[in-house]
Amino acid sequence: MRIPLIAGNWKMNNTEKEAIAFVRVVMQRLDPNSDVEVLICPPFTSLSQLHKLLVSSQLLLGAQNISEKNSGAFTGEISGKMASEFCTHVILGHSERRAYYGETDDLINQKVKAAQKSGLIPMLCIGETLEEKDTGLATSVLTRQLKMGLKDVVCDDPSEMVIAYEPVWAIGTGRTAAAQDISELIARVIRPILAGIWGDKIADQIRVLYGGSVKPENAASFLNQSEIDGALVGGASLSTSDFIGIIEKAS
Ligand code: PGA
């Protein structure tokens, strides 16, 4: 049994004040008996206050990135240890980090290890670009991103690793992949690679999320697929009603 996970990636949106107001609404409207795990990944600047607010709530907090380094003279960076004071999870390898900040598979691999070292659950994002998809390279890109991103990474507990499949062409574009095709791709490509690294039992239990233009209107089509264990939501996680609408579809 894989527990559904709905994660909101706020990216560079919401001040601390806006973040607090948002989370208050979500807390009020969340079903306390829900079997869905809900994670919010705000900018670093809101983490401390949200952590205080969420202390006895079912809502989880994640970071959007961490440094691959542990500490030291790395101006502007935040370590896993710092993030772990407030967070349970960290998004790593997001396509925007890969595209705009030059993050390579090797760097992402170091970040996955840094996250684990500080007790954070890595949410490793993978996904092909439109060009890679159109030239038939999707499978080889996903294979490389998984194998290199997870090189020498240990995973004894499947609840402590999350994979997010986010086709780059579906992020923020309103275009989505067909739910059945994603499910088939997870079964054919992603889980077998995870099984090759950690064995069938662990691979069967690791949650694989879908991300890319998920909205309340299309969430059920993804979440009803047996291989899709939740969603990584960008744009729609910035509206309380849209985010709650998606969580309700996962219940
Ligand atoms: P989107 O973003 O939902 O706005 O497409 C998803 C993501 O970047 O994680």
Ligand 1: nearest atom to the Cα of 215:
3
| Average pLDDT, integer, range 92-110 | 98
Q: In the chain, what percentage of residues exceed pLDDT 70? A: 100
What is the spatial distance between Cα 171 and Cα 129, in angstroms, rounded to a whole number? 10
Contact between 228 and 208 under an 8 Å Cβ cutoff? The reply is yes
Tell whether the model's pLDDT for residue 95 goes beyond 90.
yes
Find which of 27-36, 87-96, 165-174 is predicted with most confidence, using mean pLDDT: 87-96
| Average pLDDT, integer, range 85-106 | 98
If DSSP codes are grouped into helix, strand and coil, which group holds residue 131? helix
Q: What is the mean pLDDT of the chain?
A: 97
Q: Whose CA is nearest to atom 6 of ligand 1?
A: 234
Tell whether the model's pLDDT for residue 72 goes beyond 90.
yes
Ligand 1: nearest atom to the Cα of 125:
9
- How far, in Å, is the centroid of ligand 1 from the Cα of 233? 5
List, for residues 121-133, the tens digit of each pLDDT value: 999 999 999 999 9
- How far, in Å, is the centroid of ligand 1 from the Cα of 87? 20
Residue 56: pLDDT band with limits 50, 70, 90:
confident
Catalytic positions:
94, 166
pLDDT at site 234: 98
List, for residues 232-249, the tens digit of each pLDDT value: 999 999 999 999 999 999
* Pairing label, strands 37-41, 89-92: unpaired
Q: Return the closest-CA partner of residue 38 out of 48, 17, 49, 50.
A: 50
- For ligand 1, residues with CB inside 6 Å are 9, 166, 171-172, 211-214, 232-236
| Average pLDDT, integer, range 13-25 | 98
Query: How far, rounded to the nearest angstrom, does the alpha carbon of residue 189 sit from its chain's CA centroid?
Result: 18
| Average pLDDT, integer, range 146-158 | 98
Tell whether the model's pLDDT for residue 177 goes beyond 90.
no
User: What are phi and psi for residue 8, nearest 5 degrees?
Assistant: -105, 125
Q: What CATH number is associated with residue 52?
A: 3.20.20.70
Distant-in-sequence, close-in-space partners of 17: CB < 8 Å, separation ≥ 6: none
* Beta-bridge partner residues of 231: 6, 210
Tell whether the model's pLDDT for residue 93 goes beyond 90.
yes
Q: Whose CA is nearest to atom 1 of ligand 1?
A: 234
* Beta-bridge partner residues of 59: none
| Average pLDDT, integer, range 34-41 | 96
pLDDT at site 1: 83
Contact between 189 and 143 under an 8 Å Cβ cutoff? The reply is yes
Pocket test for ligand 1, best of 166, 168, 169 (most atoms within 8 A of CB): 166
- How far, in Å, is the centroid of ligand 1 from the Cα of 232? 7
- How far, in Å, is the centroid of ligand 1 from the Cα of 213? 6
Q: Return the closest-CA partner of residue 146 out of 97, 80, 93, 223.
A: 93
Q: Whose CA is nearest to atom 3 of ligand 1?
A: 234
- Percent helix, percent strand, percent coil in the chain, to nearest 5: 45, 15, 40
Query: How far, rounded to the nearest angstrom, does the alpha carbon of residue 9 sit from its chain's CA centroid?
Result: 8
Domain that holds residue 143: 5-250
* Pairing label, strands 5-9, 37-41: parallel
* Cα separation values, 145 from 4, 25, 80, 98, 172, Å: 23, 37, 21, 11, 21
Tell whether the model's pLDDT for residue 86 goes beyond 90.
yes
Number of domains in the chain: 1
pLDDT at site 176: 86
Residue 162: pLDDT band with limits 50, 70, 90:
very high
Question: Within the chain, what is the greatest distance between any pair of CA atoms?
Answer: 49
Q: Return the closest-CA partner of residue 124 out of 101, 99, 142, 102.
A: 142
